[in-house]
Amino acid sequence: MRRFFSSVRARAALGATAVVAVALIGAGTAVFLSLRANLTEQASSQAESAARRVAAQLAAGTPYANLELPDGEDHPVQVIDREDRLRAASEDLEDITGTGVAAVVPRPSLAPDGDEEEDDRDESDPDVGEISDRAWYASGQATVDGETGKYQFAAVEVTTRDDTTVTVYAGAPLSATDGAASTALTSMLIGLPALVLIVGGVTWLATQRALRPVEDIRQEMAAITASEDLSRRVPEPDTHDEIARLAKTTNETLSALEASVERQRRFVADASHELRSPIASLRTQLEVAAAHPELLDLDGAVEDTVRLQGLAADLLLLARLDAGERPSDARVDLTALVREEVSQRTADRIPVRVHADESVEVSGSRGQLARVLGNLVDNAQRHARSRITVTLSREGERALLTVADDGAGVPEDERERIFERFVRLDDARTRDEGGAGLGLAIARDVVERHSGRLSVGDSPDGGALFRVELPLAG
């Protein structure tokens, strides 16, 4: 059961069913109450109409005994004076409640003025009584000719010509009202559950159909996880909805993950290959030195060790960058950094010229930014013929650092490839001369971590121009 309720399809179906059930119950209750109120109001109007017809006769001076009363089963009538004495009642009225007076047999017939039934008034007398504009309503029961039923009673006061005030009670049967209300209630009790079940079933089927692509995606992802084959992709439905976008995003994530894993595999393979050469050379020299100490090439061993140390440092920095390490937010005086780093390069093959604006500050890691400059200058030293120029300036809200040389330059179709790891365009060179192919990759990664951009173009001197853009501090 718990697994059932953990299903999105089950929760959606139950939720939709609950909402529809609440809405239908609310609407059904409102309709039922409105229907009952309208039917009761109609009964009240019928009762009031019957009461006013009798009241009109009394206002005209008709004696109680001569009143033309409506049929008792349709409209039971009582005429009651202010002393709660019954003056007139419907024929065959046997019992009544809801009018305030339970009597069903009137007192000896009297005229409205209290005299005997004989009336010496001139029938041409124009004076008539007065009927109240107000009416009162109440529910009750009446038994007429052995039949008991529920009635809606209306009470109307009338003042006769001789200033006698009586109240006329007339009822209208509620059997039709109760029947219609009962029919409506029965229909709702039968129809609402059926409708709720239909809505739940339709929602279940619709949700099942809508979530079928999600299950296909889940199954394919499970298969990918089991097989570890990142070249597989999940199916993308043609619905152009959220699920289709989810499938597309999932495939994009798989593509990025595949590329990342492949990049890591190449990285490990290339790193192993790059490390093998200096380690093998160093081991060979040490083995020779162990057997023949006089043949020890100390300078070569130191050179291989330094190269191995630099390569290990580069690999460690790349690993930290791949792990998402962010630079600090310290303010770095880029002008001072450039002048200091260049001044320490006394053993370079080609002297480096510097043109730098005063006080260009950026935010980041001083050590990593120094590594960027060093890698770019090292690259220029390997390719320049006679000139290397480092320029630092402001360009709007960004610092612009360029390293230009007069070498052969970088072909336009290779300008993005050179920033890939372990890529060297000068394949003919030895590894010692050309490096491991990590310097430019490290430089771009560090610049991007500092919210900057590293690109390469043509130098005015004919060689390559590496352009570093960084946001100014503050």
Mean pLDDT of 349-357: 92
CA triplet 120, 122, 124: central angle to 5 degrees?
160
Task: Determine the Cα–Cα distance for residues 213 and 196; give it in Å rounded to an integer.
Answer: 27
Q: 242-322 is classed in which CATH architecture? A: Orthogonal Bundle (1.10)
Indicate the Cα dihedral angle 390, 392, 393, 399, nearest 10°.
130
According to the model, what pLDDT value does residue 386 have? Answer: 92
Instruction: Give the pLDDT confidence of 67-125 residue by residue, as tens digits.
Output: 898 887 788 999 999 888 999 998 888 899 988 888 888 866 444 444 444 444 444 45
Does residue 207 carry a pLDDT above 90? no
- Residue 440: Cβ-neighbour burial (10 angstroms; 0-12, 13-18, 19+): buried
CATH class of 331-471: alpha beta
Distance CA 464, CA 445 (A): 19
Given a cut of 90, is residue 425 above it in pLDDT? Answer: no
How do residues 238-281 score in pLDDT, each as one tens digit?
888 888 889 999 999 999 888 888 877 877 777 777 777 778 87
> What pLDDT, on the 0 to 100 scale, is given for residue 278?
77
In this model, does residue 393 exceed pLDDT 90? yes
Site of tokens 């960004």: 398
d(CA 333, CA 342): 14
Q: What are the residue boundaries of the structural domains of the chain, listed by start?
A: 1-118+126-227, 242-322, 331-471
- As a three-state string, the secondary structure of 99-153 is CCCCCCCCCCCCCCCCCCCCCCCCCCCCCCCEECCCCEEEEEEEEECCEEEEEEE
| C-alpha to C-alpha distance for 93 and 70, rounded to whole angstroms | 12
**155: pLDDT confidence band, cut at 50, 70 and 90?**
very high
Residue 108 backbone class (left: φ over 0; alpha: ψ -120 to 50; beta: rest): beta
Helix ranges (DSSP H) in 323-400: 334-343, 366-383
Instruction: Find the angle CA(414)-CA(419)-CA(420) to the nearest 5 degrees.
Output: 95
Q: Which residues on adjacent β-strands are paired with residue 89?
A: 78
Whether residue 472 contacts residue 360, with contact meaning beta carbons closer than 8 Å, is answered with yes
Instruction: Calculate the dihedral angle through the C-alpha atoms of 364, 365, 369, 374, rounding to the nearest 10 degrees.
Output: 180
Q: Which residue has the higher pLDDT, 13 or 44?
A: 44
Task: Judge whether 242-322 and 331-471 match in fold.
Answer: no
Q: Which DSSP category does 403 fall into?
A: E
Per-residue pLDDT tens for 274-325? Answer: 777 778 877 887 888 788 777 777 777 777 787 788 778 878 887 777 777 7
Q: What is the pLDDT of residue 435?
A: 61
Average pLDDT score over residue span 349-377: 92
Tokens of 237: 């439905």
Note the pLDDT of residue 154. 94
326 pLDDT band, cuts 50/70/90, is confident
The mean predicted confidence, pLDDT, of the chain is 84
**What gap in Å lies between CA 474 and CA 472, rounded to an integer?**
6
Do the Cβ atoms of 379 and 419 come closer than 8 Å?
Answer: no
Q: pLDDT at position 373, please?
A: 95
pLDDT at position 429:
39
- Tokens encoding 36: 């009952």
